[in-house]
Amino acid sequence: MAVGFVQERERIIRQQQEAIRELSTPVLQVRERLLILPIIGVIDPQRARQLTEQLLRAIRANRAKVVVIDITGVAAMDSSVANHLVQTVEASRLLGATVIVTGLSPEIAQTLVTIGVDLSEMATVGDLQGGIEEAERLLGYKVLPFEELTPKA
């Protein structure tokens, strides 16, 4: 009786953990062939793996050409996570998508330079706005205010 109760609880906890993990890595399409992957919170190796998997699947499904990974919400990053990020970028490239990483905090920039992770292959832009602007440039979009589109009377 007591064992069954504990097992049931364990099952619910596992289910909820799974739900949190699913929710924590949304891949969003903002334009035709442009995806955004905002990452918030701590990245552990398991989450990093899941993140890569979901991103690659989404690139396939949406035929994405450019992906913006925004890590503004990530407080810290160690070498294993950084290397995983580099691998994700590499894998995306093989699927035909260019990855732009945005929102590196000064702390993360400092850590990465100090521990000497080679990020020269990775395109990084300061913030999400800059990243989307760069992605639009790569895709050939140009965003204009409405007044400039309508001919002046």
Partner 1 sequence: MTLLLTPSTESRGSPDPEAGHYLIASIQSALTDADLSQLREALIERVGRFRARGVIVDVTALDVMDSFAVRTLRDIAHMARLRGAETVIVGIQPRWRSPWSSSASR
Residues that bind partner 1 (CB under 8 A): 102, 104-106, 108-110, 112-114, 119, 124-127, 129-130
Nearer to partner 1, 88 or 102 (CB): 102
Q: Phi then psi for 76, rounded to 5 degrees?
A: -140, 160
Q: Where are the beta strands (DSSP E) in 8-152?
A: 28-31, 34-40, 66-73, 98-102, 123-125
Computed from CA positions of residues 10, 12, 15, 17, in that sequence, does the dihedral angle turn out positive or negative? negative
Nearer to partner 1, 95 or 138 (CB): 138
What is the spatial distance between Cα 59 and Cα 92, in angstroms, rounded to a whole number?
Answer: 8
Nearer to partner 1, 56 or 99 (CB): 99
Least separation in angstroms between CB 104 and partner 1: 5
What six digits make up the tokens of 58? 């989404």
Least separation in angstroms between CB 79 and partner 1: 15
Quick one: which of 79, 81, 86, 83 has its CA closest to 115? 79
Least separation in angstroms between CB 136 and partner 1: 12
Nearer to partner 1, 59 or 103 (CB): 103
Least separation in angstroms between CB 124 and partner 1: 5
